[in-house]
Amino acid sequence: MDIIDPSTGERIESYAEHTQSAVEEALDRANEAFEEWRLRPVREREELLAAAGEVLRENKRTYAETMTREMGKPISQAIAEVEKCAWGCDHYAEHASAYLESEGHPSPPGASVETVYEPLGPVLAVMPWNFPFWQVFRFAAPSLTAGNVGLLKHASNVPGCSMAIEEVFREAGYPEGVFQSLLISSDLVDGILADDRVRAATLTGSGPAGRAVASTAGEHLKKTVLELGGSDPFIVLDDADISAAAEVGAQARNQNGGQSCIAAKRFIVHTDVYHAFLDQFTEAVSSLTVGDPMDEETDVGPQARQDLLEALHGQVEASVEAGARVVTGGEPLDRQGAYYPPTILTEIPEGCPVDAEETFGPVAAVYAAPDENAAIVKANDTEFGLGASIWTEDRERGERLARQIDTGNVYVNQLVKSDPRVPFGGVKESGYGRELSNAGIMEFVNRKTVWVE
């Protein structure tokens, strides 16, 4: 696995892929580790998770630099990602015992009935490159603490992150085999998932990848959680705080180089405030600093790979050819590295790529809507259903409209984000299942009824 620095296009490191025999050994270790790990008291598992959070904090700059070198995330955002992972560890270290507490049920006189929550076994995690630490920890923190063991198949352009995450758990004192990273190609995933030693899988990634994992898992009757793509609407109503919406909207679209499933992608603006919003949004987007991701002042770094930049630009070109208008950006920057500028398109033709497809980069499509009903119709006019953001000064109005949007998450007067305290996931083509909070830890447990006469 060759690591290409996306800010320069130069190869900076190489990792040897694990052989088939190494994978077999890892599966054996996971299976053996599970038999001991499942019996550990939850409190001991919580203490180890708290230690993992400390390892993250102590080494946050080192881990952040690994992220930045491998996929181009601005260093300040990379540090924040490591800190968020530590927060996720803290959350489950504090609350896992309560989440996993057995639940009693009504029963006949002389009998006791309760549901207990037991781990499933080794879980395969197929994870993406865009949030290379957070995506893993939001699976691993609850699942390992519930008593499962983890096998990580990370994206091929972030092997250093993959190995660093394994190091976090090792340094925290986790037993050997409880969390392992597999440096393998995607074509080995089906075989691993079909193996009897693996009991479940979680995937964050593209629709095709999700379908492939779900198909194999279904064939072998194994539980899956899928978090797939998104084309999140960002609705600005006529009574919104336009300045706040524009400022947060610029961040919501361009954070992490726009490479986020829950980034705001389709900006649906009431006609009464359309021009005022567009002017302020354009100003906010144009003020973002594009540059060296190792520079603390950089807001937008390079795209993670050159081929991803080319695919994004192809979507923009096809949309412009169909009739969309470029307000700002729209062309790759003439510099070394995979740099694409923050871009705004308006007058979006129905069915063009930026309208109908997920744009995984700093490209915002802005629409005008005559009223709130039209805005909701447009928000739901997508195959995806991950997140949505609504901007209005009337909180009751925001809550009412939030219930009309077909997504797994709706935020009113805030950008869409994942938080350890609340469930996260999507509907429709954005996947199924939930991560984080109580819902997340319950995805990979056996909810066993125990009836005692």
- The catalytic residue positions are 227, 261
φ/ψ of 48, rounded to 5, equals: -65, -35
Query: Cα torsion for 293, 297, 299, 301, to the nearest 10°?
Result: -20
- Helical spans, DSSP H, in 72-133: 75-99
Distances (CA, A) of 419 to 81, 86, 91, 385, 438: 12, 12, 10, 18, 12
Q: Which residues does residue 126 pair with via DSSP β-bridges, in sequence order?
A: 153, 203
Token pair listed for 345: 């398109």
The Cβ of residue 320 has, within 10 Å, a number of other Cβ atoms equal to 18
Nearest to 391, CA basis, from 269, 250, 251, 226: 269
Cα 241 from chain centre: 28
- Cα distances from 141 to residues 27, 78, 110, 130, 416, in angstroms, run 20, 19, 39, 19, 21
For residue 287, with 0-12 CB atoms within 10 Å meaning exposed, 13-18 middle and 19 or more buried, which class applies? exposed
Element (H, E) at 117: strand 112-119
91/57 Cα distance (integer angstroms):
15
User: How many helices (H) and strands (E) are present in the chain, helices listed first?
Assistant: 15, 18
Residues 300 and 339: their CA atoms lie apart, in Å, by 9
| Angle CA 246–329–407, to nearest 5 | 50
Question: How far apart are alpha carbons 331 and 325 in whole angstroms?
Answer: 13
Q: Is 421 exposed, middle or buried (0-12, 13-18, 19+ CB in 10 A)?
A: exposed
- The rounded Cα 46 to chain-centroid distance in angstroms is 23
**Interacting residues of 143 by C-beta distance below 8 A, sequence separation 6+:** 123, 150, 202, 441, 443, 444
Token reading at 297: 């002042």
Torsion of CA 310, 311, 313, 316, to 10 degrees: 170
Please, is 418 exposed, middle or buried when counting C-beta atoms within 10 Å of its C-beta (0-12, 13-18, 19+)? buried
